[in-house]
Structure formats: structure tokens, C-alpha cells
């Protein structure tokens, strides 16, 4: 599915580029530095606001796009890439705008301002609209420049993994405000003639969709209809593994979920939402949902002492397409550390909905407490799943070579991986190199930033 989001990213960039070229041909016979600068500013601006508009749409977590992109995790990866491309385009746009003034102040070129071009021989009504836009050039430039500084700060902040997630979630919302400022900048300063071209029509549609998305983000409407309240009814903590099981009884409104999907969970309004994979099957007669969390940061480190039976929670979801749906003759599951979670949910489902498909589950951990091993073994037995435990200190790291020896018929299987990114990349590379079709390797990209 990564191929899908790569294709969509490049398709967007190529598509906008082609539309921009069509809007600007024929180019002037004589290409001067002033013309190159103007074209550079316009092109980088169009690319920047175009990818930002799509990123803003993806910020709504549109469920209807999940089958196309391969799940919300892939959507968030595309959202991240769009943000990086938008940042690069904005920086280029800013340099192209500022360069003449820098060079002029150094005495390297003659000073001079002006954007060139005024109202042409179009109808009076169009000339009046263009004159109105021309009168807004200075405010649009001022707002655009400061919005650029805000954009750079917020995107760089989002890319710093050590920046606390709760603060990231709050500050990242401010990008919607910056986006609205950049929309004004774009509408005023885009070449007026472009609005009557296919480029202008597509840009107008993207801007409208982006503005509506930004408003929904700022008014906290994202996922509102998919939220359900619940109460913690059971907890179990594994101190050596630093893993917490939390069972929540849901109120009416949850429409069910497939094993392998995840949800956003809020135990504290100040902290906000955090994404967790669902570790239980769904039974409408017993509307409970389980999450298994591992201490991997400031927030999850303190969950065992903060959460108590009877505490309230808000669950938003479900999301994701890591749902084990395929036509392969057998399946191989690889759960690295806390990545075992979706497989626990699937085994609970298979215990009540048996399959004749052979399944091998590899659970790779640094340490496994007896109680956790007993539960996992019982789940595997009930689901008729072949369980293989790999403890790093004892068995070493699982490699593609080891996996192929344990499952000789591995080429007929689909592989479902959830765990550390480097582990997943190594396994992906090895298995594909040895003949596994690309479409049969499924990986959960469980990273929301």
C-alpha cells in the first residue's frame, strides 16, 4: 500500500505541474531573470498550497479514503510527506521572493520592485476584480510572509519526535490557521489569468475543500460522530514488561470493529487523544473493548498509576485496514513487542469464527512474563494458530532465514507485520528478495507523526 500513497503523491505533483505549464504557455521568447523569478514564485506557490490543501483534507481522517490509501496509518504517512513537500515548496517560494532584495542590498543587482502586468483588455467586470485583488497585494504579501514563518516553525516542531505528543497534537492544529492565511495569500497573488484556466479551477476546488477542512479542524469536528464514551472495568499490569491491559465498557454508539483496527483514546481531556490498537474482538452482547499499552514515553510511562477502575474514557474509531483480509492459502503473522496487539484481537475473533487457513504467529520480545505467555498460548490454542515465541536474549533476533526454515511453505503465505520500523524493513526486504510477492506483505505503519 506504500506504493499507492507514493503514486498519489507523485500524481498530485505531476498533475499540478502539468496544469501550471498549460496555464503559462507559450512562455516569453526572451527569458529574463525577472521572468524566471516570477515563474518560480508562482510555481512554488501553486505546489505548496496544493499539497497543503490535500494534507488539510487528510487531517479530517476520511474513512472513505482508507480502502484507497490502505488505512489511516498510510493516510497519515501521506499527510506527513505532503507536509514536508509543502515546507520545501514554501522555503523555495520565500527564497525566490526575497532573493532580489538581498542581492540589491549587497549591491549585486540594481534595485527595483514591481510585479509587472496590470489589467488587460478583458471585460470591465474582470478588470474591476483584478484591480480589487491588486489593491490587496501588500496585505497578502505581509500575511503570507508571517504565515510562512509560522508554517516552518510548526512543521519542524511536528517532525521532532522528542516533542511531547500532547503538545504536538495541540500545536499541530494551529497549522489550520496558518493554512487559512496562506489561502488568502494565494487567492490574491496567483496570476489573475490562471483563474480562468484548468489550473485555476482545480486550485479553487482544492482551496475550498481545504478551507472547509481547516474550519472543521479548528471547531473540533474531526471524528466527532465516531466517538463513544466508556468506563474502565478491568486492568492488569505486567511490571517487568511495562505493559498494561485496560478493558473498557462502552456506551451505546460503537458500531463494532474488525480485529487489527485501532482507535484514538482519551483518558484525560488535558492530555488529549492517543492512538492504540484494539486488542479484543467485538461482541455487541458484551460491548467491551481492550487496549494493551506499553511504557514507551512520558504519557504511557505513567498510565498504570494514573488509570483506575471506574475512570471514564472517550474512544474514537475504529480506523485502519490491517484486517487480515486476503486470498492467500496461509498467513504468517509477526508481532514485535507491543506489535502483538492486533494478532491478539484476531485470535480472539478466530476462536469464535474458525478458519481452515494455516496460521503461524511469531512473537518477538525482549522479555515475556509467565502470565502474558499463558494468555497468549491460550489464545493461540483457541484460534488454532501455531505460536512461535522468540526471546531476543535466548533465541536471537528473528530473521527472514529463520522464518523460512520454520515455515517451509512460506511463499504461499501472506505476511502480516506489526512492530518496530527497522525490524519491519529488514523482514520486508529479505522476504521480497527471496520471492514473496510485494502485495502479500502487509505492514502497520503505526506512527501518527
Residue predicted with more confidence, 429 or 27: 429
Topology agreement, domain 224-319 and domain 330-443: no
Domain over 330-443 is classified CATH 3.40.50.80: yes
Burial of 89 (0-12, 13-18, 19+ CB in 10 A): buried
pLDDT tens profile 139-173: 999 999 999 999 999 999 988 877 887 788 889 99
Q: Note if the pTM is more than 0.75.
A: yes
pLDDT tens profile 44-65: 999 999 999 999 999 999 999 9
What is the residue extent of each domain of the chain? 2-218, 224-319, 330-443
Q: Which residues pair with 99 in a beta bridge?
A: none
The phi, psi pair for 43, rounded to 5°, reads -65, -50
d(CA 111, CA 156): 33
224-319, what's its fold? Elongation Factor Tu (Ef-tu); domain 3 (2.40.30)
Comparing 116-120, 205-209, 332-336, which segment has the lowest mean pLDDT? 116-120
d(CA 313, CA 115): 55
Residues 231, 312 contacting (CB under 8 angstroms)? yes
pLDDT tens profile 205-249: 999 999 999 999 999 999 999 999 999 999 999 999 999 999 999
Amino acid at each position: 500500500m506504500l506504493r499507492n500513497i507514493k503514486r498519489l503523491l507523485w500524481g498530485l505533483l505531476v498533475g499540478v505541474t502539468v496544469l501550471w505549464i498549460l496555464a503559462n504557455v507559450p512562455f516569453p521568447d526572451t527569458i529574463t531573470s525577472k521572468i524566471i523569478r516570477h515563474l518560480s514564485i508562482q510555481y512554488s506557490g501553486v505546489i505548496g498550497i496544493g499539497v497543503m490543501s490535500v494534507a488539510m483534507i487528510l487531517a479530517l481522517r476520511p474513512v472513505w479514503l482508507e480502502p484507497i490509501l490502505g488505512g489511516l496509518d498510510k493516510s497519515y504517512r501521506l499527510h506527513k510527506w505532503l507536509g514536508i513537500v509543502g515546507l520545501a515548496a514554501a522555503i523555495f517560494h520565500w527564497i525566490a521572493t526575497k532573493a532580489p532584495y538581498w542581492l540589491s542590498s549587497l549591491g549585486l543587482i540594481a534595485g527595483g520592485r514591481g510585479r509587472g502586468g496590470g489589467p488587460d483588455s478583458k471585460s470591465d467586470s474582470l478588470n474591476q476584480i483584478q484591480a480589487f485583488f491588486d489593491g490587496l497585494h501588500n496585505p497578502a504579501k505581509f500575511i503570507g510572509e508571517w504565515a510562512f514563518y509560522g508554517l516552518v516553525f510548526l512543521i519542524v516542531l511536528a517532525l521532532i519526535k522528542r516533542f511531547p505528543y500532547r503538545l504536538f497534537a495541540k500545536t499541530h492544529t494551529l497549522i489550520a490557521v496558518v493554512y487559512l492565511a496562506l489561502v488568502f495569500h494565494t487567492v490574491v497573488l496567483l496570476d489573475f489569468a490562471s483563474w480562468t484556466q484548468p489550473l485555476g479551477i482545480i486550485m479553487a476546488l482544492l482551496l475550498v475543500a481545504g478551507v472547509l477542512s481547516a474550519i472543521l479542524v479548528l471547531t473540533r469536528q474531526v471524528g466527532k460522530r465516531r466517538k463513544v464514551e466508556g468506563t474502565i472495568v478491568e486492568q492488569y499490569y505486567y511490571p517487568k514488561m511495562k505493559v498494561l491491559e485496560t478493558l473498557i465498557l462502552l456506551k451505546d454508539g460503537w458500531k463494532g470493529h474488525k480485529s487489527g483496527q485501532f482507535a484514538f483514546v482519551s483518558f484525560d481531556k488535558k492530555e488529549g487523544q492517543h492512538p492504540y490498537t484494539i486488542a479484543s474482538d467485538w461482541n455487541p452482547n458484551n460491548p467491551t473493548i481492550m487496549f494493551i499499552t506499553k511504557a514507551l514515553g512520558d504519557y504511557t510511562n505513567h498510565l498504570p498509576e494514573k488509570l483506575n477502575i471506574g475512570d471514564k474514557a472517550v474512544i474514537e474509531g475504529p480506523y485502519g485496514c490491517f484486517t487480515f483480509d486476503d486470498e492467500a492459502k496461509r498467513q504468517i503473522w509477526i508481532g514485535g513487542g507491543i506489535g502483538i496487539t492486533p494478532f491478539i484481537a484476531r485470535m480472539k475473533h478466530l476462536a469464535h469464527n474458525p478458519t481452515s487457513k494455516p496460521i503461524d504467529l511469531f512473537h518477538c520480545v525482549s522479555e515475556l512474563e509467565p502470565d502474558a505467555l499463558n494468555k497468549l498460548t491460550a489464545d493461540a490454542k483457541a484460534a488454532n494458530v501455531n505460536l512461535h515465541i522468540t526471546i531476543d536474549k535466548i533465541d536471537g533476533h528473528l530473521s527472514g532465514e529463520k522464518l523460512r526454515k520454520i515455515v517451509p511453505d512460506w511463499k504461499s503465505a501472506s505476511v502480516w507485520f506489526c512492530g518496530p520500523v527497522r525490524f519491519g524493513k529488514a523482514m520486508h526486504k529479505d522476504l521480497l528478495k527471496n520471492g514473496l510477492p510485494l502485495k502479500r506483505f502487509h505492514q502497520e505503519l503505526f506512527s501518527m507523526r
